[in-house]
Chains A and B, each alone.
Chain A
């Protein structure tokens, strides 16, 4: 009997209408993008940063990359001031076309704190030209004049 009444009075449809009507008055979840920006979490894997001074040129990051996009060249030289042999970085390029931001290079780096890290919380990587910002070389990785929005944070 109740089922018959339900069927005729279309109660299930009105229940659905009620649910959507209640949502009219709820707070909207839209984030108005350029004005409000959602801040990613601490461990968010964004764009790279390199610190040349901390780097010991072990090339573990290049070896661990699943797609082999890190290119490192170094040579040994005698430093005239300290009279000791040390390694100098010639080239540290990353091919951003293929990078999947997996974080394995960061995990492989043996220094503390890490010399290459991804937690710069930057995900706005678009550029206006096709040839810009596809290969990032050593200077850009450190200075980042092209990326004004980033946090200078070091990972924990």
Chain B
């Protein structure tokens, strides 16, 4: 079965006419960031073809969405991209609000922006940790996790959990900021750019890092657009597309920030994109904290949220990994009729064979790291 699906390898002539080895980069492997299985055909060290097999973490999330009312589904969305839970929540409640026509008060919008950007910082810190450790540098892992602890402490103080946040509701926010939270986050984002400089000092100019990442995992922009890749993968290939600028939501049209775009289409550029994004996120949080308006945090909404009959909506946000979208169909009851998720990692992982064909196995690990996939999202 897999011989038919593996394309491009039919007429491959190996040097000296020897056979290719079929290698299973199995679901249990330290480098695959979750339970991803890759069936690879390799010739010595060169990868001839690669076929990702997913589904090892499928939990039926979309079916679960159909069984409960709208506001009860927010915890389920946390668990899809478990590294960046706030943006998942944001996409879902944004879609529900669009469907039901709720208007979110400004204070809640600002708080949501702050949480979403803090989550972006935390997710990129995790990405840097795992990417560096796959390429062999062990210490950035510990340094980034030290910063990540601070972010998680902020989240814990706000909504009670560190990873599966459940911090947004359709219509606004459940809790207001605690006393002192704004000062703590301001202190964090003030000290953060110095830490990013530290990570860059260890990696960006390092000749070994450059040799491992420049020219690896080339993703031409046409291929990226064809496959529907979004997020830093797209911006590393030179295409300027960020939903926060193109279709602003929450408070993004009221803050100033830049979207980094680099044009070399390789791993090193995607690394630079994400590092710059971390700095920009810190500046967005600072601006939002300065401008935070007073007011209510929850919109006026009916006791039971009923969807309109035959209403359907698609709402997407810019998550740390790409565009997370929710397509919700309502049928007049309190439960959604169908709730389809557009997970960014699923579309990003489709280009993996394109990026590694012809490369070495060592490059495969670097490329999986730069794709920044979270299997919870790919499989739902």
Residues of chain A touching chain B, judged by Cβ–Cβ distance below 8 Å, are 7, 10, 12-13, 15-16, 19-20, 23, 29, 40-45, 64-66, 100-104, 107, 118-119
Q: A104 with B156: in contact, given A12-B206, A19-B198 (CB under 8 Å)?
A: no
What's the least CB distance linking B189 to chain A, in Å? 19
Contacts of A44 in B (CB 8 A): 156, 160-161
What's the least CB distance linking A23 to chain B, in Å? 8
Cβ-defined contact, B72 with A20, below 8 A: no
Cβ-defined contact, B207 with A66, below 8 A: no
Residues of chain B touching chain A, judged by Cβ–Cβ distance below 8 Å, are 68, 71-76, 139, 143, 146, 149, 153, 156-161, 164, 166, 174-175, 178, 198, 201-203, 205-208
What's the least CB distance linking A71 to chain B, in Å? 17
Cβ-defined contact, A100 with B75, below 8 A: yes
What's the least CB distance linking B98 to chain A, in Å? 22
Cβ-defined contact, B75 with A102, below 8 A: yes
Contacts of A13 in B (CB 8 A): 206-208
What's the least CB distance linking B144 to chain A, in Å? 12
Chain A contact residues: over half helix, strand or loop, or mixed? Answer: loop
Cβ-defined contact, B202 with A43, below 8 A: no
With both beta carbons as reference points, the residue of chain B lying nearest to A102 in the complex is identified as: B75
Q: A41 with B206: in contact, given A100-B164, A107-B174 (CB under 8 Å)?
A: no
Cβ-defined contact, A42 with B166, below 8 A: no
With both beta carbons as reference points, the residue of chain A lying nearest to B75 in the complex is identified as: A102
Cα-based distance from A115 to B18 in the complex (angstroms): 72
Cα-based distance from A41 to B214 in the complex (angstroms): 43
Contacts of B164 in A (CB 8 A): 100, 102
Cross-interface CB contact of A43 among B143, B160, B205, cutoff 8 Å: B160
A-B contact pairs, 5 of them (CB 8 A): A13-B206, A16-B201, A102-B164, A104-B72, A104-B75
Contacts of B68 in A (CB 8 A): 66
Contacts of A100 in B (CB 8 A): 75, 164
Cβ-defined contact, A12 with B156, below 8 A: no
Which 4 A/B pairs are nearest by Cβ-Cβ distance? A102-B75, A45-B160, A41-B157, A43-B160
Q: A41 with B160: in contact, given A29-B146, A102-B166 (CB under 8 Å)?
A: yes
What's the least CB distance linking B270 to chain A, in Å? 20
Cα-based distance from A15 to B198 in the complex (angstroms): 10
What's the least CB distance linking B299 to chain A, in Å? 16
Contacts of B159 in A (CB 8 A): 43
Given known contacts A16-B202, A29-B146, A102-B164, what 12 new A-B pairs fall within 8 Å (CB)? Answer: A12-B205, A13-B208, A15-B205, A16-B201, A42-B178, A43-B178, A44-B161, A45-B160, A66-B72, A66-B73, A100-B75, A107-B174
Cβ-defined contact, A43 with B201, below 8 A: no
Contacts of B166 in A (CB 8 A): 102-104
Contacts of A42 in B (CB 8 A): 157, 178
Contacts of B158 in A (CB 8 A): 43
Contacts of B71 in A (CB 8 A): 104
Contacts of A65 in B (CB 8 A): 72
Contacts of B198 in A (CB 8 A): 19
